[in-house]
Structure 1
Amino acid sequence: MRLRRVIFGVTTAAVLLVTGVPATAAAPARLSVSGADVVDPAGDPIVLRGYNWGQWGTVQQQDPADNVAAGANSVRIPLRWWGEWKDGVDSRDTDPGNLSHIKPGHLALLDQTVEQASAAGLWITLFVDSDHGQGAGGRPDNFWTNAAMKQQFKEVWQFLVRRYKTKAYVGAFEILPEPQPIGVDDAGVKAFYDEMIGVIRGIDRRTPIVVGPNDNYSCAHLEGAYTTADTKVVYTCNYFIFSEPLNRIGQITGFRTDHDVPVWINQVGVESGDDDARSKARKVLGAFDDNGIGWAWWTYRISGTNPDTHGVYYADPTAPDGWRVKPAWLALVNGYLAA
């Protein structure tokens, strides 16, 4: 099944919302959810396909236009908050006077990145990543055990939603990727998401929200993520490609059919140096296309210098602009963006 893909390049003032009310600066056109479909502002199904700009601070000036020219209609953008990332990536500000809890320089870079994507007409999924908060690596101090940090995380999201609720092409808010708290079952993870949905909906009732399952966004746990807390929810899970590339397609389509809800893959990717990596990638992206499953490729640019890992571009100090492209991978992924 191939669903029609729609890209919008018009100003929000000229777009009618699904309700028929003209979009304005205070109420920009938004995506929505109808049954198992994500729908565009005109109410037509849209399959979101694009890249992750997932490595903090790597976006280049030409990237939005290049993504659009390749056929992308969306992008996934991070803010890293409370984690152990290298090179000063963590945006958490410990100054008690900063009520946003985000370092000003990091916020300025996030604003710039969101503006670049919005100006290009790419639907943005904004996610806040927290290695500590999600319990990564078995960390016992996380959002399920530390009430003070959980409250700060709520305030981060309240700040971001207020900041971007009137920004054109903000497509979805993805609360927290890859939860993996020790000793917390699916119901406990779902309860966290339901609480956070309420926090966001207290400020913005229109923009869709993305949630995923326990166990590091495992597709096998999708059933445990199902919620009735809100109707504008898009579900997600990870799809890093290993030895059996198509082993999760049935889990995704089965969950989507059983609950009549959309599923979009926040991260699909494979390490370039893996055996048969390109063949596996074609199988998975082809299956996504055949089943109308949206996706964001992990990742567009990666800050590491190893050409055999993830990333269509990788860092190379000997290159004129500091980046080296993998031409075969660029052609492969781009070939499925306009499917």
Structure 2
Amino acid sequence: MKLRQVVFGLSTAVVLLLGGVPASAAAPARLSVSGADVIDPAGNPIVLRGYNWGQWGTVQPQDAADNVAAGANSVRIPLRWWGEWKDGVDSRDPDPTNPSHIKAGHLALLDQTVERASAAGMWITLFVDSDYGQGAGGRPDNFWTNAAMKQEFKEVWQFLVRRYKTKAFVGAFEILPEPKPVGVNDAGVKAFYDEMIGVIRGVDRRTPIVVGPNDNYSCAHLEGAYTTVDAKVIYTCNYFIFTEPLNRIGQITGFRAAHDVPVWINQVGIESGDDDAKSKARKVLQAFDDNGIGWAWWTYRISGTNPDTHGIYYADPSEPDGWHLKPAWLALVNGYLAA
């Protein structure tokens, strides 16, 4: 039996905006968690399926409508904060007088992206990525070692949750993807997430929170991520597809059954130039469908120009709109969105 249900047409209150932040609003409908299911506002189980809008600044005006037309009911949206990425996407504002710690232009772009998804009726998972904070590449200066930057990160989340807690179709807050701090075990990563859950719950007690395991969101470390500090938690891990495409399905379903909690895959994808890439992708997406596992494909648009890497679209200056579509990949992934 298929668990997926797309939710549209929820009535929302008209809000008075002051400086871009709701001054007053009725509480919007929200997802919830019941056992291993994510539950929609009508009380029905929903399997979240959609794309990552993961490359900062690449979202186009038609993307939300196109995703929904294909059957997507959700989308994963990033804010890159305190890291080293190409194209100047780091949104951190070092000005100590800025209480949000986010550059104004980046915040405006995030607002626009969230609004497009919300207006289309897609459940949004908002994540704050921090290459430095998560300890990527063995960086010693991270949220486990730098108390001042950890405090800034808390304040970023407090600001964002206040800003979006009355926005329709905000589905979940994903605290920090792919942690891998040097010398920190699973318990240490879990303690960080538990502390951050408390920070978010101090502002919003309704919206589900996404957490994942140590070692770059490794599915093998899911057990170490399990928490009892909050009932509205959705667990996640990465599922980039390599030689053995189905080698993590049992880890996901086993953890879900053992703890009666939902697991949603924040990133599933494969470089399109890999051998048997389409066959492997079909096997994984079919396994997700068979097991009621939600997912977000990595990724919809990629800012690079390499046609053999990730992305349903890749940048191509020779195209009139600057984008080249991989039609076979669009058809493949879209074919599982409405499963």
Alignment of 1:260-275 (within 5 A): 260-275=260-275
Q: Which residue of 1 aligns with 2:26?
A: 26
* 8 Å Cα contact 1:2-1:291 kept in structure 2: no
* 8 Å Cα contact 1:268-1:298 kept in structure 2: yes
Q: Which residue of 1 aligns with 2:149?
A: 149
Q: Which residue of 1 aligns with 2:74?
A: 74
Q: Which residue of 2 aligns with 1:202?
A: 202
In the alignment, the residues of structure 1 paired with residue 230 and residue 4 of structure 2 have an alpha-carbon distance, to the nearest angstrom, of 26
Q: Aligned-pair distance for 1:134?
A: 0.1
Q: Which residue of 2 aligns with 1:226?
A: 226
Q: Which residue of 2 aligns with 1:17?
A: none
Alignment of 1:5-84 (within 5 A): 5-12=5-12, 25-84=25-84
Alignment of 1:1-339 (within 5 A): 2-12=2-12, 25-339=25-339
- Secondary structure of 2:140 counterpart: coil
- 4+ residue runs over 4 A deviation: none
In the alignment, the residues of structure 2 paired with residue 306 and residue 13 of structure 1 have an alpha-carbon distance, to the nearest angstrom, of 44
**AA aligned opposite 1:31:** L
Q: CA RMSD in A?
A: 1.1
In the alignment, the residues of structure 1 paired with residue 192 and residue 169 of structure 2 have an alpha-carbon distance, to the nearest angstrom, of 27
* 8 Å Cα contact 1:215-1:221 kept in structure 2: yes
* Residue correspondences, number: 330
Q: Aligned-pair distance for 1:264?
A: 0.1
In the alignment, the residues of structure 2 paired with residue 299 and residue 118 of structure 1 have an alpha-carbon distance, to the nearest angstrom, of 19
In the alignment, the residues of structure 1 paired with residue 8 and residue 211 of structure 2 have an alpha-carbon distance, to the nearest angstrom, of 25
Q: Aligned-pair distance for 1:6?
A: 2.7
**AA aligned opposite 1:113:** T
Cα-to-partner distance string for 1:268-324 (whole Å, 9 max, x where unaligned): 000000000000000000000000000000000000000000000000000000000
* 8 Å Cα contact 2:301-2:312 kept in structure 1: yes
Q: Aligned-pair distance for 1:10?
A: 3.4
- Secondary structure of 2:205 counterpart: coil
Q: Aligned-pair distance for 1:43?
A: 1.3
Q: Aligned-pair distance for 1:8?
A: 1.9
In the alignment, the residues of structure 1 paired with residue 198 and residue 117 of structure 2 have an alpha-carbon distance, to the nearest angstrom, of 27
Using the size of structure 1 for normalisation, the TM-score is 0.96
In the alignment, the residues of structure 2 paired with residue 70 and residue 231 of structure 1 have an alpha-carbon distance, to the nearest angstrom, of 32
Q: Aligned-pair distance for 1:263?
A: 0.1
In the alignment, the residues of structure 2 paired with residue 48 and residue 5 of structure 1 have an alpha-carbon distance, to the nearest angstrom, of 9
- Secondary structure of 1:12 counterpart: coil
Q: Aligned-pair distance for 1:13?
A: 5.3
**AA aligned opposite 1:297:** W
Runs of 5+ consecutive residues of structure 1 not aligned to the other structure: 15-23
- Secondary structure of 1:171 counterpart: strand
Using the size of structure 2 for normalisation, the TM-score is 0.96
- Secondary structure of 1:133 counterpart: helix
- Secondary structure of 2:172 counterpart: strand
In the alignment, the residues of structure 2 paired with residue 222 and residue 55 of structure 1 have an alpha-carbon distance, to the nearest angstrom, of 26
Q: Aligned-pair distance for 1:39?
A: 0.3
In the alignment, the residues of structure 2 paired with residue 86 and residue 295 of structure 1 have an alpha-carbon distance, to the nearest angstrom, of 26
In the alignment, the residues of structure 2 paired with residue 10 and residue 191 of structure 1 have an alpha-carbon distance, to the nearest angstrom, of 36
Runs of 5+ consecutive residues of structure 2 not aligned to the other structure: 15-23
* 8 Å Cα contact 2:4-2:48 kept in structure 1: no
